[in-house]
Structures are given as C-alpha cells and as structure tokens.
Chains A and B, each alone.
Chain A
Amino acid sequence: MGSYLHTVDSDWYRQRVSGVLICILAAFLILLVRLYYLQIIEGPEFRRRSQNNCVRLRSIPPPRGLIFDRNGVLVVENRPCFNISIVPRDAKDPKVVVHKLAELLDISHETLFARIDEVVGIRSFKPVLLRRDVSRDVVAITEAHKLDLPGIMISVGSTRHYLNGKQASHVLGYLGEISGEELKKGSFPDNRSGDFIGKFGVEKAYEPFFFGKRGEQQIEVNALGQLSRILRTEEAIPGNNIHLTLDIELQRKAEALLSGKVGTALAMDPSNGHILAMASSPAFDPNAFVEGMTYESWNDLASNEFRPMENKAIQGQYPPASTYKIVTAMAGLEEGVITEDFKVFCPGYLRYGNRTFRCWKRGGHGFMNIIDGLAQSCDVFFYQLGDKLGVDRLARYAKLCGLGLPTGVNLDKEAKGLVPTSGWKLGRMGVPWQGGETLSVAIGQSFDLVTPIQMLSLISAVANGGTRFKPLVVSRIESSGGSLVKKEEPVPMGRLPASKKTLQMIKRGLIDVVNKRTGTGWIARIPGIAVAGKTGTAQVVRMQEDNKEKSEESILLHHRDHAWFIAFAPSEEPKVAVAVLIEHGGHGSTAAGPIAREMIKTYLGNYGIEGLRN
C-alpha cells in the first residue's frame, strides 16, 4: 500500500471500486423492494384496476383545413357525419355483433368483418371504423338496439364536402382512406388507419398542411364498452386553410364553356404565374370518393374513353401545331436566320426533295414576312424557316421556352411533353433524322408534344416580356386562426431565349392574329381590348387497329383535329393569359378561339377594364 502523499496504486483504486459497488447494490435493492411492493403486496389491487379497464383514451381526429379561392370564396369545407365503429374487445364476440349489425342495416357482414381483421385483429381495444357517414335512420336503428350490440359505438365525425361538386375537381383533387402500405412506409407519421388523406390534386400536394393535430379524450365506458362519461378532453387543432390562386368565377365560366366538349381551358396571371382557372373536361365529383364509391362507379370513371380522372391541362400531351410557330419564329429571329424584312412567297405548298408539303391555305398566302407569317399562320413560311434552322437548333429554343420539361406546378402527375432532336430519334428509333421531318416539327406537328400548361406558361412569358414563372395553384396557407403559415412567392424559372426586339416582333404578329381580318384568330377579337393570340390545329393520326373496334361515329370524332388557342390581353399591359385545347374540336379558330375570348372577357370584365362595359 503506497501511502505517499501524491501517488495512488491499484489497491487504492480497488478500494474505491468496492465503495461504488456498495452504493450501486443498495440502489438496485431499493428497486427490487419497490417492485416487490407494487407487484406482490399491492399487486392484487392493481390487477383488479387493470381488469376494469373502464377508462379509455380516444383520439379526436382534427378537422381538415378548408380551401378558399383567391377572393376568399369557400370552395371545400367539412360537414358533420355519423360514423359507426366497434371496439372488438368489448364486443366479446365481434363476429356475432357484426352479424347482428349487418342484419339490422341490411348490408353484407363480410365487408364489415374484413375491416376488423385488416386493421387490428379481434382482440383490440382500438375502435375500428365500420361505416362512415351513415344516415340518421341508421343511427336511430343502431341506437335502438344498443343493448344487443356490445362494443358498437356511434361517433360524430366530419367528412369532406366539395361545395360545387365537379367544379375545379382536377385542381382540388380528392381524398381516400389511407392504405396499410402508406401507413407502413412512414411518410404519414401523424395518420392512423381510417384517416382520409389527399390522393390527387391540391389535397395531395398540400397534405401535410391540411392535417392538423390530433386531440385526445379520456372516456369512461360501461361493461358494454359504451361511453358513459367524458373525463378529459384535449381538443384537436384544425389543419391549415389553403387559399388557391383560382378565381372561382372564371373557373365556373371556363367549365361552362367546355361543357359537352373534351379538353381543357386555363388562365394565368402573367405577372406572377398564378393560375386563375384550370378546367378539364369531362370532370369527376370528388364528393363521391369520400362518400364511398362502389366498384362499378369507380370502374366507370377509370375506363371512360374521355378520361375524366385525367387533368388534361397538365397530364394531356398534344402536338402544339401552329402555336409552336412562336418558338420557331423566336429561334429564327434570335439566330439571325431571318430578319423583319425577310420574305417568302407561299404558293400553297413547298416542294422538298420528292415530297410536297402543303400549306393549310391551298391557294397560298403570297408574299409573307414574319409578322404576316404568324398572323396568317403560313405553313410555307415556317417550313422554310425550320429548314434553315435545323431540328437541333430549334429544339434548343423549345427547351429554353420550357417545353419538354414539367413546368413544376405543384400538382401530381404532370407530363413533360417531348421536344424531338436528331439524337433522340436515332436513340429511340434507330433511324437518322430526315430533313422533311424538320419541316413538320417547325409547324408543331410530327413528334412534337406539349401540355396545355406548358403553352400557357410560354404565352404568359411572351406577354410579360420574357419571364417564365412557375405556375402556382396555391397563393398562401393560413392557420385556422388566420395567421400566415406559408406564402407561395412567384418563382421565376428562367427567361425566354429572346431579346426585347424579338419579343416585340412576335407580339405584333400575335396581335395581328386576332385583330386583322386576315388573321387566323379574328373570331377571338374583343371590341375595345387588344387581344393577342395564336391558333393551332393539330392533325390527329391514329393507328388503324385502334379504329377498328370503335363505332362509326367515334372514328369520325377521333379523326378530327385538336383545336388550340393561346392568348393574352390586353396586349400592352397583359392582365391575363389563357390556353385552350379542345380534343378533336376541329379548327383552332372556331373551336378554341371563342372559349379563349369569353374567358378573357369574363376575367377582364370582373376586374373593370375600361372599354368592356358595353
């Protein structure tokens, strides 16, 4: 043992360790004594209390956030509903109880019982939702037979209500019950089985904001598991309210204009990318999804040949046709391939190699410059221009205009379209690019594919002087108390590849489209307002096999062209840009033009633009 003043040896440490050991053993002894006291001495009393199990925790689902339009008009709300649930453990024999309930309500007991198995198993204390949103009659019957139905409880919940049915359904989206898989993936940590979550549209994209905070209630139940007393309630916190950029009046107008047609009509504020209207026809009623859809009605929706579940504004891909000439013109002017003075003689066709490319106007346009070419949509002018540019240069401009890529709108399933290049064709089809194909691409036919929202974004950028904004459908998110949670600021995605001068020239052409009697969009003019726009008529080539199975009428319909019209107004200080596409509508000017005109009129009329009063 070293007893020098400043050194210690292993023995000293060993003594210290023994000291520690004694302290620790004493501490554990306290735990053991306590355990003995709780389990052996007081145990029987605790066992009795645990068997009673009369106090339960019940979760209160939070009300989902509401949806308003840009002017604060309520679009989606929640309405109260009655739900029937079962606590399997209280039911003693859930099978018997569910049978009885099914008999009383005259529904199949298998579907009811499947839910118990699926969600928790028959020994659970957790309530399992059997039927949502039942009628008052069902509530009355169930209440009357309360004593025969141990474990069954009726609760007041809330269910989603889309105030205007099909209106804006593609933007709003719909809800569906969370699936077991979604729960397991862990991306919805706050959700439980039985919850409804957004499955499409804004409901899906903003799901985390819509769901509030779950509340909790301590309740006392009787021997049948039915509520006898509420002991304590911690209220749920409602989800955040979402304010759309949509103007619901313009939306309603757009949908009315589309009624009976297949297609889409959308409008944007060119100064910030706010989507003012986004109508897609035919539409679906999102209420059907929360009310519980039968297999048949879902099938009808899913297999309908006009695809009502598809948001054609962002999911539909179409040849841009003559609306693409804006891109070709931009490329030609910027690359210095042509100038304002450059002229082409249009005899109604162009010989290219041993092929003849026709202009839409058989008799020909005569001499055309860039402005007239746009205004009268002369194909021959743009064939020549395309030939001078070559497909790859054209593709570069198309991509800088935002084509071939999703616009980034915060909605599900946006398609990206297709900008063909020579490399793309070689890789995809194994054959080299043909010069003649460039001519078709230059007028927006052949392989070109765009979505209507891409064209809207493009025409908005032309309108505002060249800035491409990300299309926004939500402007701000507020808490249920009204304080700001998140503001969606305008997001510039890039600039059009065009100088001020080039854009000015294109604008002149687009103004002439609508305001000159020779322009292709004369039908869309509004007295007192300078509208600028571009028509498009997309040839539809369908495969033969496809047609065989269809009826005579539908072949005819499917052979008709898609009609485009994209526009903005007033041309000097643009307040609104629109894009309209009618599937198999025929000519762009006659089928799509009037719709675009009426939308512009409605929007500008509502915002008191002078000159529109009469």
Chain B
Amino acid sequence: MIDRRLIEHFDWVLLSLTLVLGGIGILTIYSAANANVDIAGAKGLVHLKQSYWFAIGTGVMILMALFSYRWLNRLALPIYVFSIGLLVAVLFVGKEVSGSQRWLDLGPVSFQPSELVKVSIVIILARYFSRGASEEGFSLIELWKPLIWTLIPFALIVKQPDLGTSLIVLLIAGSVCMFVKIERRTLIGLTGVVIAGSAGAWFFLKGYQKQRILTFLDPQGDPLGAGYHIIQSKIAVGSGLLFGKGFLKGTQNALSFLPEQHTDFIFSVLAEEWGFLGAAAIILLYVLVVIWGLAIAARSKEPFGTILAVGLTSMIFWQTFINLAMALALLPVVGVPLPLISYGGSSMLVSMGAIGILLNISMRRFLFKE
C-alpha cells in the first residue's frame, strides 16, 4: 500500500529538530511553573499538560504527513471557510479571557481558531498562486482575491482583540505574496497603502496597545509602569551571562516579575537559566528548522508544494522572530507564542501540524516528474 520510497525519503532531521525543541519547551515550562506556585497551583501541573499536548501534537504531525498533501490543494477552500467559520463563532460564543475573546470552549479543552487560520490562509494562497506565477509577478488585478482572503481573518482577529496574531497573519500572507513576486509598481503602491494604513491604525489602537508601543520606544520613561516588563525581561536575559544560572535557578523567573513567563516570555526564562550558550543554541535550532523548511520548498518539484512549504516556514519564522525579538526588547510586547516551546495547546498543535505538512511535502518530492 504505502510506497516504500515514502519511508526512504522520510525527513528524520526535521522530525528530530521538532522533538528536541518540544522537549526543551516542557523542561523550561517545568522551571517557570516550579518557581511560581500560582502558575502551578491555579492551572495544575502545566508541564504535564504541555507533555500531553506535545504527545497529541506528535500524533497530529504524523497524521498530516500520511495523506498526499495535494489533497490540501483540492480542499483549500473548504478548509479556509471552516477556519473562518470558527473565527466568527469565537466572536459570538467564545470564552473571554482577560478582556479578549479568543477561545472556543470544547469541554475539557479550549481552542484558539486564530491559530488554525495561520495554516488555512497559507494553503489557499498556495493554491491560488501556484497556478499563475510569472516572472513579471502578480498585478493588482490578480491580487484582489488573496487580499480579501487575508483581510477577512485579519479583521476578525483584530476584533477579538488579538493584535499579535492578526499581525502574524498579515506577515505570513505578505511573505507568500513576496515570494511569488509582485509587479514592481503594484508592490510600491501596496507598500504606500500599508504605511498609510499603519499610521491610520494608530487611532484605532486600544489604550493599552498604544501604551505598549510608546513604552517600547522609551522604556525608561515609565520604568515602574508599563516599561517594567521590558526592563525585567532584559534583566532576566542579560543576567544569564555566558553559562546561565542553571536549570531551576533563575531568580527573575522565581520572582514572577515576568508576565506570561510560561507562554510569551518563556525565552527569557530559558536565557536566564542557560545563558548565552544555551539561548544561542536554541536560536540555531530554529535557524535549522527554517533552513530545512526552505530546502523542502526548493526540492519540491511542483509549485503548490513549493509555495505551501515557503508559507508554512514563514509562519514558523515570523512567530519565532517576533517572540524572540520581544523577549530581547527589540520589539514591543505583543502576545505571540514561541512555536513548539511556549505553553499552549492550540499553538502546539498548529505548529506541529504545519511541520507534518512540511514532512509530507518532503517525502513526496519524488512522486512528481519535473
């Protein structure tokens, strides 16, 4: 039944990288929760929960590699519509957690549909662009459909409100468009629109969001207010020095100075305990994952596979980059999880699902003729 070539061409490197990162995540979450009784106490043993999610994620990853990914091409529209449907549902029946409505309550677990949209948008864009790429690039007339497909989930996620995830969706879609090339004058025009749009968006941001950006630009201006978290994250990372303070020995972590230390700021905990050597090693692991993803894109022999692989890789890249840049105080605080490491079921399942699709494209690259 299963073509032997599929097994021969299975991408063990990507699989190993994924498992190593997931394992590091569980250890770090253990440390973050161990030092802080409120995380461990109120939410149960979070590292155990993360282990369960990791196990389920591994299952999802394998599942996503089993069938030929060309099915995704055929089913692109239904998948997209389904994920948008979930986003709409969240607006009406979503569970509200600290002021924003992002979660669908599914009995014992809750799910963030915005995570799923990150993948479904890539699939539908890959389907569209794989049919008509040209060396001149796409013109504005050809781009209106992808624009609408992107703006619908963007608007829905902004409404939740979840600024971080909505920006990620824009960045992923933008990356795919850039990859398949856009006509020069269209590109210049769109860039202008985006710049004007961001300036205009300033007036629509909520108070706390504006504050975050202002604070980011000048953290010392309000060191005990909103700038506090940025400074604390810098202290946590910086105090790790070359070798770190050691596993479970981070003091910034123990003081729970860091907000969301087991989710969005998990890298600060890691850098504090493992130092420059450890933190740089983690960054290199992510570099390897991304290089691998791009290699899969380059080796795929048909456009849909290539564009899909680039899109999924860009999803992992952007989340990693924005999360790390935030922990290193290079970007304002936006809630973006670190793929495979941050605590959270939805993010874990979607990241591992995306890697499953990459494995899928990789192992089927020999099934197509040039």
Binding site for B on A (CB under 8 A): 3, 5-8, 10, 12-14, 16-18, 20-21, 24-25, 27-28, 30-32, 34-36, 38-40, 42-47, 49-51, 53, 55-57, 89, 119-120, 123-126, 180, 183-186, 188-193, 218, 231-232
Contact = CB atoms under 8 A, between A and B. Distances in A.
Given A47-B239, A47-B241, A192-B38, 10 more contacts: A5-B135, A6-B134, A32-B283, A39-B238, A50-B239, A126-B37, A126-B38, A126-B256, A184-B41, A232-B224
A186 B44 CA distance: 7
A184 B44 contact: yes
Contacts of B328: 31, 34-35, 38
B237 interface: yes
Nearest to B249: A123
28 contacts: A8-B133, A8-B134, A16-B310, A20-B314, A21-B291, A24-B317, A27-B321, A28-B286, A31-B283, A32-B280, A34-B328, A38-B329, A39-B241, A39-B242, A39-B276, A40-B242, A42-B238, A43-B241, A46-B237, A53-B251, A57-B256, A120-B37, A125-B251, A184-B45, A186-B43, A192-B37, A192-B41, A193-B41
Contacts of B256: 57, 125-126
Contacts of A232: 224-225
Interface stretch (B210-218, B228-236, B346-354): B228-236
Interface string B316-332: 01000100110011100
A53 B257 CA distance: 10
A71 B145 CA distance: 64
Contacts of B271: 35, 39
Interface of B, secondary structure class, is helix
Contacts of A184: 41, 44-45
A35 B280 CA distance: 8
B164 interface: no
A50 B253 CA distance: 10
Interface stretch (B12-20, B25-33, B294-302): B294-302
Q: How large is the interface on B (under 10, 10 to 19, 20 to 34, 35 or more residues)?
A: 35 or more
B283 A39 contact: no
B226 to A, nearest CB: 11
Interface of B: 35-38, 41-45, 132-136, 175, 179-181, 224-225, 228, 234-242, 251-252, 254-257, 271-272, 275-276, 279-280, 283, 286-287, 290-291, 294, 297-298, 301, 303, 306, 310, 314, 317, 321, 324-325, 328-330, 370
Contacts of B306: 10, 13, 17
B242 A16 contact: no
B255 A56 contact: yes
A35 B122 CA distance: 31
Nearest to A9: B370
Given A17-B298, A40-B242, A192-B38, A30 B237 contact: no
A56 B255 CA distance: 7
A-B CB proximity, top 5 nearest: A46-B238, A50-B239, A39-B276, A183-B41, A47-B239
A252 to B, nearest CB: 40
Contacts of A124: 35, 37, 254
A56 B254 CA distance: 11
B242 A17 contact: no
B44 A3 contact: no
B297 A17 contact: yes
Contacts of B257: 55, 57
A30 B324 CA distance: 11
A25 B298 contact: no
B338 to A, nearest CB: 12
Contact of B238 (A28, A43, A57): A43
B136 A5 contact: yes
Nearest to A123: B254
Contacts of B45: 184
A32 B279 CA distance: 9
A307 B310 CA distance: 72
A6 B279 CA distance: 46
